[in-house]
Amino acid sequence: MGFLSLMQNHLLTFIIFVPVVVAALLLCIPGRFKPVFKIATITATAIQLLLAILIFQSFNTSPAVSSAIQPGFVFQYVEKLDWINLDLNTFGKLSIDYFVAVDGLSVTLVGLAALVLLVGAISSWTIQDNTKGYFLLYLLLCASVVGCFVALDFFLFYLFFEFMLLPMYFLIGMWGGPRREYAAIKFFLYTLAGSIFILIVMIGLYTSVMDPIETGIQAGILNDAETVTQAQITEVQQRIQENTIPKNQIVKTFNMVAMMDRANYLPDTLLEVNNNAGIFGFSARLIAFMALFIGFVIKLPAVPLHTWLPDAHVEAPTPISVVLAGILLKVGGYGLVRATYSIFPDGAVFFAWWIGLLGVIAIIYGAMNALAMKDLKKLIAYSSVSHMGFVLLGLASLTSEGVSGGLFQMFSHGIITSMLFLIAGVVYDRTGDRMIAHYGGLSVKMPSYTTLVVIAFFASLGLPGFSGFVAEIMVFLGSFNAATINQLLPRWMAIVATVGLILGAAYYLWTLQRMFFGPYYLLKDQWNGQMIDLNLREYVMLIPLALATLVFGIFPSLFLNMVNASVSSFVHFVNTVGEENLRLILGK
């Protein structure tokens, strides 16, 4: 019972660090025992999935919308421990916490990450070169990805975010295709550039935000963190604004939840709402919003910062393409929701029109590029750019339908695009070629494979009955209704975005017709003996993903019930606080 209680209280810690522990154990095993590394990695990711299921089962889908750590937000499975504390003398104190928790905005992404990481581990079974190094790096990637979705201390989040760079760089650069070094360097430089923007804003936030609980304890207003009340927090915040607490008793923090409350900002600091000094005549908070936005949009990615994605996908081995498209792109979208929009709601309202326009451009531009692609992997990569445009459009609407649709699109796209890259890997594993024109009539030789291809293509183009349809319809509803609900987006954006659906149907149906129907054709005669239907391992990977997109398409409430309460709180918070902050910033 003691171990079960420990697990229940520390589920998020277990789901992060199980892969790290397994990786540490595998360090002691000689590299010649290849099956051990494969089995251990699959086991570790399977444990992550089981823990994610436990979190799902006990997650409260309708909590009261109130919280001691931030009014309007409710977090569950909270683990908060002191990690780094420094006394900076007259500059106050520095506090960095091991602070992890989930809410409706993140819990579904934790489940998605666990599922895709397990599928990626199974797909990695064919890796033969330097097996030990590959699977050790993969396990580190598993830990850092999940860590990003649960960290609520900005410093901790940034560590996980940055740590994803290292394994991904080597996994692409060492096990990728002919141009793997170029693709890996391009991926690394783009993501690192985005990380610098995030780092600059994080430092600015640290200099501007205090922890009301720790500051209250230092000032003698609070006895301890366990018995704190909202009235005591308010008293600390008022005294901070009145400058009646000595600077050496102020505890500065990276706590992302504290950053969401403008009452925690120190007077006359750079990112304080009432500070009109700004930078080069522009509001520092609006500049900070744009810097964070750029940092996370590179990861999403959005046009014109997307060019690293097709190269990375084409050169990455199939399992890494699955993880990259299925999860890592979602870290960018999640960062927009958790950090950019929640910490700077004023910027979310101020730039809503431009973000919506960027989303529409990404939808159309990505789809048109996909239509022109001759490489199956590049087609799927550009379709991802198009589908992530729906996420931007949904978030820009700042309506419950739009934001829910954007989150659903991230979840749905993670499942569907993982399936699509596995499908591309099936023919590549058999022939070493991904060119669409080099195949024809594959349904004759590979009927089961063709059936799953049809499911994946129809799911991705948004056919009713699949999860992609529900996500895109909700984005359209939210962006269309924004004109009457909050006047942030014009209706023409939603209307123009529907062109992306037509283009999506065009490139998928064209590919389906060319590769799978019509006369049987292979570019090289020697491929004929290799074009066999799916094996057991491929069925194990593809069928659960196909079932998932069908289940969530027919029963979308399975997803929406998890996010509804948090989305309502998020939308209300960003709209109301964003408008109030903007009035102060713009002096209206």
Per-residue pLDDT band at 348 (split at 50, 70, 90): very high
Cα–Cα dist 416/208, whole Å: 41
pLDDT for 515-563, tens place per residue?
Answer: 999 899 888 888 888 889 999 999 999 999 999 999 999 999 999 999 9
pLDDT reported for residue 291: 94
Q: What is the mean pLDDT of residues 13-21?
A: 95
Q: What is the DSSP letter of 328?
A: I
Give the tokens for residue 373.
Answer: 């692609």
pLDDT reported for residue 1: 46
Nearest CA to 292 among 243, 327, 322, 259? 259
Which residue has better confidence, 82 or 393?
A: 393
Sign of the dihedral defined by the CA atoms of residues 7, 10, 12, 17, in that order: negative
pLDDT for 206-230, tens place per residue?
Answer: 989 998 888 888 888 887 777 788 8
The share of the chain scoring above pLDDT 90, in percent, equals 65
Number of continuous H segments (helices) and E segments (strands) in the chain: 26, 5
Cα–Cα dist 212/239, whole Å: 10
105 and 567 Cβ atoms separated by less than 8 Å:
yes
Cα–Cα dist 588/575, whole Å: 16
Which residue has better confidence, 575 or 1?
A: 575
pLDDT reported for residue 90: 66
pLDDT for 112-152, tens place per residue?
Answer: 999 999 999 999 998 888 899 999 999 999 999 999 999 99
Per-residue pLDDT band at 305 (split at 50, 70, 90): confident
Per-residue pLDDT band at 306 (split at 50, 70, 90): confident
pLDDT for 234-287, tens place per residue?
Answer: 888 898 888 888 888 888 899 999 999 988 998 888 888 887 666 777 888 999
Query: Is the model's pTM score more than 0.75?
Result: yes
129 and 93 Cβ atoms separated by less than 8 Å:
no
Residue spans of the domains in the chain: they are: 351-579
SS3 for 507-535, per residue? HHHHHHHHHHCCCCEECCHHHHHHCCCCC
pLDDT reported for residue 364: 95
Cα–Cα dist 425/254, whole Å: 42
Q: What is the mean pLDDT of residues 446-471?
A: 93
Nearest CA to 89 among 252, 248, 250? 248
- Tokens 């924004």 identify what position? 482
144 and 113 Cβ atoms separated by less than 8 Å:
no
pLDDT reported for residue 453: 95
pLDDT for 55-96, tens place per residue?
Answer: 998 888 876 544 434 445 689 899 988 888 887 776 667 888
Pairing mode of beta strands 251-253, 76-87: unpaired
Cα–Cα dist 25/21, whole Å: 6
- Flag whether pLDDT at 588 surpasses 60: no
Phi and psi based region of residue 220 (left: phi greater than 0; alpha: psi -120 to 50; beta: remaining): left
pLDDT reported for residue 418: 94
Burial (Cβ within 10 Å: 0-12, 13-18, ≥19) of residue 62: exposed
pLDDT reported for residue 65: 45
Cα–Cα dist 80/508, whole Å: 47
Task: Name the strands in the sheet holding 93-102, side by side, starting at the edge strand that comes first in the sequence.
Answer: 76-87, 93-102, 251-253
SS3 for 50-114, per residue? HHHHHHHHHCCCCCCCCCCCCCCCCCEEEEEEEEEEEECHHHCEEEEEEEEEECCCCHHHHHHHH
Give the tokens for residue 433.
Answer: 């070629």
Amino acid identity of residue 154, one-letter, is F
pLDDT for 415-448, tens place per residue?
Answer: 999 999 999 999 998 998 989 999 999 999 999 9
pLDDT reported for residue 71: 45
Nearest CA to 219 among 249, 248, 244? 249
pLDDT reported for residue 277: 65
Averaged pLDDT score across all residues of the chain: 90
What number of other Cβ atoms are within 10 A of residue 570's Cβ?
27
Give the tokens for residue 287.
Answer: 């500049």
pLDDT for 101-116, tens place per residue?
Answer: 999 999 999 999 999 9
The share of the chain scoring above pLDDT 70, in percent, equals 96
Alpha-carbon distances of 417 from 122, 390, 420, 540, rounded to whole Å: 16, 15, 5, 16
- Flag whether pLDDT at 158 surpasses 60: yes
pLDDT reported for residue 270: 86
Mean pLDDT lowest for which of 94-98, 472-476, 502-506?
Answer: 94-98
What number of other Cβ atoms are within 10 A of residue 219's Cβ?
18
